Amino acid sequence: MNREPLLQVRQLTKLHAPGKGCREVSFDLYPGEVLGIVGESGSGKSTLLSCLSARLAPDSGSILYRTDAGETVDLYQLSEARQRQLQRTEWGIVHQHARDGLRMGVSGGANIGERLMATGERHYGQLRATAARWMRDVELDVGRIDDRPTTYSGGMQQRLQIARNLVTHPRLVFMDEPTGGLDVSVQARLLDLLRQLVTELGLAVVIVTHDLAVARLLAQRLIVMRRSQVVESGLTDQVLDDPQHAYTQLLVSSVLTA
């Protein structure tokens, strides 16, 4: 495995107001690694994820990203066009609400094909065949390929969003509560699917979740956030089985007693 970090995050700070956002966050993310960001509502998880994925400029600190071409770039020194290009080609962004990550006005197949076109594929037959294959891979009925996502259920929309993001074989995927807002049984099946895809494709993932079971299932390493700061980090099993910080202990015990 390539041991150079994909992401090097240093002293990253973005505050919307005092105590609201993320403050002085530092970590490395390696290829193929899944990092979970956990913490209560309002602790700054989504703010951090937005900064990491070049959607929200930080107040201070830096994010170095190692590109597919092997060069290390400072994310917020890049032009906006180059940031957008990374988002479309080397990264995936899976939103909690599939509507935020899909184009609701075009068909399911086009939602997948469009991402491929951004990486240069132009052949209609190829685009359609790949879209159909990905629909099968995420267990969607290929017969629905020409239907708009507005006609899909919430779980189906989330599967489509995942296919749209993974079809280009991104190196790094950002996920914000990807199973939030879905029925428990739909959640469980989607989690299984995500875990399988992440392993098969060797994806590096940063996943925000308030659900420790999701973190345990997907993430090798965890960052625990409270009131905009990281209070604990480490291997998932260590953090969840032997939490050191009083806040993490509270988080873990509140799940056990729920």
Ligand X SMILES: Nc1ncnc2c1ncn2[C@@H]1O[C@H](COP(=O)(O)OP(=O)(O)OP(=O)(O)O)[C@@H](O)[C@H]1O
Interface with ligand X (CB under 6 A): 16, 20-21, 39, 41-47, 210
- Beta strand residue intervals within the chain, DSSP E: 7-17, 20-29, 34-39, 60-66, 72-74, 91-94, 172-176, 204-208, 221-226, 229-235
With respect to ligand X, which residue has the nearer C-beta, 21 or 155?
21
Of 22 and 204, which has the nearer Cβ to ligand X? 22
Least Cβ distance, residue 47 to ligand X (angstroms)? 3
- Alpha carbons 219 and 254: distance in angstroms, whole number: 20
CB of 222 to ligand X, least distance (A): 14
10 Å Cβ neighbour count for 34? 24
Distance of closest approach, residue 88 Cβ to ligand X, in angstroms: 24
State the helix-helix crossing angle for 154-166 and 184-201, rounded to 10 degrees. Answer: 10
CB proximity list for 79: less than 8 A, separation 6 or greater: none
**111 vs 161, beta carbon nearer ligand X:** 161
Distance CA 47, CA 14 (A): 7
Q: How far is the CB of 62 from ligand X (least distance, A)?
A: 19
In angstroms, what is the minimal distance from the CB of 104 to ligand X?
22
Q: How far is the CB of 209 from ligand X (least distance, A)?
A: 9
C-alpha 186: how far from chain center: 19
- Please say which residue, 46 or 130, places its beta carbon nearer to ligand X: 46
Going along 96-178, which residue ranges are E strands? 172-176
46 versus 53: smaller Cβ distance to ligand X: 46
Q: How far is CA 250 from the centre of its chain?
A: 26
Can you give the length of the chain in residues?
A: 258
> Nearer Cβ to ligand X, position 12 or 110?
12
